[in-house]
Homo-oligomer: A and B are copies of this chain.
Amino acid sequence: MIADQTESFVTRRLEEADLTYGGIPGDRHFGITARADTRQPMYPKDTEIFNRRQISILSVEELDVIAKELGVKAILPEWLGANLLISGLSNLTQLTMGSRLLFPSGAGLVCMGENRPCRFPGEVIQKNLPMVPELEKKFVRAAYKKRGIVCLVERPGTIKPGDQIKILVNDFANPLQ
């Protein structure tokens, strides 16, 4: 999925995506570098820094838990601005930094840690489900530790829906390099 509208972080589905160094070209988070924001308070705002948030990934299982928590039928990954949705890894957000995701094309991602929830997806969810009260307020808590991960592209390649992903979990006692 790609966020290629300037006014929104919401993504739309693609038939396939080319991962290159920096992410998905045209995506809001694409770039070898990015601007420091409130997530990097150690740098002056808008400083150019290396971009470790190139690709964001959610899991079907965690989205289901968030939806239940919010009392709604489903949360679409687009509303959270995800680039990828994967299933089969119920605790995706706990995937250790340095873990790798390898795709059939040869493309590889490195996990750069959990994506910490911010307020904005709550607004989008509320707009899409206007009949359910207080979704915006409840989102951050509901998504805590279930908001998926961010990754950087280690090896470019094409990815597409249905790809089987091999996950190499980084064990800090005996780390992958």
Interface string of A136-177 (1 = CB under 8 A from B): 000000000000001011110000000000001000100101
CB neighbours (8 Å) of A48 from chain B are 155
Q: Report the copy number of this chain in the oligomer.
A: 2
A127 CA to B152 CA in the complex, in Å?
40
With contact pairs A43-B108, A108-B42 given, residues A50 and B98 touching in the complex (Cβ less than 8 Å)? no
Contact: B177 with A113, CB < 8 Å?
A: yes
Q: Taking the complex as formed, is A53 at the interface, i.e. its CB lies under 8 A from any CB of chain B?
A: yes
Contacts of A106 in B (CB 8 A): 43
Q: How many residues of A contact B (CB 8 A)?
A: 34
Interface residues of A in 101-150 (CB under 8 A from B): 102, 106, 108, 110, 112-114, 116, 150
Cβ of A168 and Cβ of B116 under 8 Å apart?
no
Report the separation of the CA atoms of residues A155 and B113 in the bound assembly, to the nearest whole angstrom.
19
Contact A153 B42, CB 8 Å, known A113-B177, A116-B175, A116-B177: no
Decide yes or no whether A49 CB sits under 8 A from chain B.
yes
A47 within 8 A of B: yes
For residue A73, CB closer than 8 A to chain B, the reply is: no
Q: Which of B39, B50, B168, B175 contacts A114 (CB 8 A)?
A: B175
Complex CA distance for A98 and B177, rounded to whole angstroms: 14
Chain A to chain B: the 6 pairs with minimum beta-carbon distance, closest first = A39-B177, A50-B154, A97-B97, A49-B155, A113-B175, A49-B154
| 10 CB-based A-B contacts, threshold 8 Å | A21-B33, A40-B177, A42-B108, A42-B168, A52-B154, A52-B177, A53-B177, A96-B172, A97-B175, A150-B177
